[in-house]
Amino acid sequence: MPRELGWYASFSVAFGFVSIATGIFTTYGAVLATSGPRGIWAWPIAVVGQLTVALVFGALAARIPISGYSYQWVSRIVGPVWGWIMGWISFAFLGVVVVAVDYTIASTILPELFRYVGTTQNAWAITAVVVLLQAVLVALSTRSTHKVNSVAVTVQLIGMIALTVLLFAVGAFTGKLDFGNLFDTASVPADGYYALGGATEAGPFALAFLLGAFTIVGFESAANLAEETREPARVIPKAMVRAVISLGVLGFLFLVAITAAAGKVAGVGTSETPVATVITAVLGSVVGKVLLVLVVISIFSCGLVITLSGTRLVYAMSRDERFPGWRLLRRVDRRTATPLNASVFMLLVAQAILALFSRSTDALFELFSAATLLPALIYAGTIAMYIAKRKSLPPTRGFALGRWEVPVLVVASVWLAYELLIFRDASFRAPWTYVLVLFAIGAVYFAGLLRRRGRQGLTMPDMADVDRTLDAADAADVTAEGSPR
């Protein structure tokens, strides 16, 4: 596959996957219910935690800029068995998160936009169509996919900035801002608000961290397209860090605006779509609907990037002959220059997960919970690997943590340990079930793989081979750019 992605395309992939519009529209209602308006103050802490993770991922991407990110890194640095486990977890995450993202459009925005009653049935049908459209676009053209995503990211930037400014301006002019609401716990008891909780329950403030933990994920998707990016070791780390910082700042300003306005809007606490309800109440029906359309575009872009990342991960694992059906899934279609079979496979996986969760009356919460738990496991495993092997990592090709390496690793480790402890809460039983079922399926396949090949048959290229491959690809890019067209 050709290297045709520049710095803005790489940034757009990271920015588009994270998509604060998606995360906030999906989880804000749950935060109000479990933590009250005061829960938004967990956001800045979560952003700092995820930023340290992004810095570590940037350091790894600069050393091994190959499609497959954590799967490739762990396979080559620790060993193929642990790498396969990381790849399978990543596959499980990408399969469920695209459904969670697209389900947000059907369940929280379109009902408010077109004034109809949302049900599990129509949410299922709409989500299925959205997933199909994204898969078709990814399968047909990588270049078109990135063009659509770049436009959508630009729309999201403009739309979210405009939405935030308008909420502050119109809210202040009409007297619909109540900044005291930022510190209110509403129906959540104030006593024990910051308590850690018990063995099977997390405290109210702890649950609020899920807002940032669900939203600020996926920045590593830029690394998953390393083989299609020009100068990936230099471009990708900066793209990930810039995406987390910009989204963290913009997201918090938007949360402050929404929460301040929510204090003067009746019925927000009981609304199925609290963010959309506040926007419409403050800005009016016409302006509110225009901005909600921009949010739909942003969320569609997010699902598009997730589909693209999932396809590339399946392709990368199949290319290494260690994914179910790898003989078909590693093929690159000559006409489209995309891994077409892998795209169809990810479509089928997403549709199956949608059918599984859509029967639940609380499908959105279960989907976003599973899509928060899985990346936390991926991040924790990758950070642990980096800590264990940091003295023997290959030389960097464009980005390094330098003297900040140890402080960054400490903060990232503490943050991820705390985040994973939140999932001891009994409300996360369904997400854990999904994770365990996917792990069981993976374990059966991997046991068969080991029986057929043995550990010796799963060896990955050593770092010298990786460097030679990357150097050859870079040389080919230079030759191609200098040759007549």
DSSP 228-249: GBSSHHHHHHHHHHHHHHHHHH
More confident residue, 386 or 481: 386
Please give the single-letter amino acid code of residue 446: F
Residue-range domain boundaries for the chain: 7-452
More confident residue, 131 or 10: 131
Bridge partners of residue 202, in order along the sequence: 197
Q: What is the pLDDT of residue 197?
A: 85
Provide mean pLDDT across the span 85-112.
Answer: 88
Count of H helices and E strands in the chain? 18, 2
Q: What is the pLDDT of residue 104?
A: 85
Is the separation of the CB atoms in 117 and 128 below 8 Å?
Answer: no
Residue 67's closest CA among 470, 398, 481?
A: 470
Bridge partners of residue 229, in order along the sequence: 5
Q: What is the pLDDT of residue 262?
A: 92
Q: What is the pLDDT of residue 259?
A: 95
Bridge partners of residue 201, in order along the sequence: 198
> CB-side exposure of 97: number of CA atoms within 13 Å?
34
Q: Look at residue 357 and tell me whether its pLDDT is greater than 90.
A: no
Name the average pLDDT for the chain: 85
Q: What is the pLDDT of residue 166?
A: 93
Token digits for 272?
């199925």
The whole-angstrom separation of Cα 56 and Cα 73 is 12
Residue 145's closest CA among 309, 377, 327, 367?
A: 309
Q: Look at residue 165 and tell me whether its pLDDT is greater than 80.
A: yes
Which pLDDT tens digit goes with each residue over 183-221?
999 889 989 899 988 888 899 999 999 899 988 988 888
Which band of pLDDT confidence, cut at 50, 70 and 90, is reported for residue 480? very low
3 state DSSP class of 1: coil
Q: Look at residue 474 and tell me whether its pLDDT is greater than 60.
A: no
Q: Look at residue 483 and tell me whether its pLDDT is greater than 50.
A: no
The whole-angstrom separation of Cα 345 and Cα 419 is 31
Which pLDDT tens digit goes with each residue over 247-260?
999 999 999 999 99
The whole-angstrom separation of Cα 103 and Cα 406 is 39
Which pLDDT tens digit goes with each residue over 140-162?
877 777 788 778 778 878 888 98
CATH match of 7-452 with 1.20.1740.10: yes
Q: What is the pLDDT of residue 350?
A: 92
DSSP 173-210: HHT---GGGGG--TTS-STTTT--EETTEE-HHHHHHH
Q: Look at residue 383 and tell me whether its pLDDT is greater than 90.
A: yes
Q: Look at residue 467 and tell me whether its pLDDT is greater than 70.
A: no
Which band of pLDDT confidence, cut at 50, 70 and 90, is reported for residue 471? low
Q: What is the pLDDT of residue 450?
A: 83
Token digits for 126?
């709409």
The whole-angstrom separation of Cα 180 and Cα 177 is 9
Q: What is the pLDDT of residue 111?
A: 86
Provide mean pLDDT across the span 126-153.
Answer: 85
**Of 83-92, 239-248, 255-264, 475-484, the least confident:** 475-484
More confident residue, 478 or 89: 89
Provide the percentage of residues in the chain whose pLDDT is more than 90: 33
Pairing label, strands 201-202, 197-198: antiparallel
Nearest 5°: the CA angle 446, 447, 449 is 60
Q: Look at residue 441 and tell me whether its pLDDT is greater than 70.
A: yes
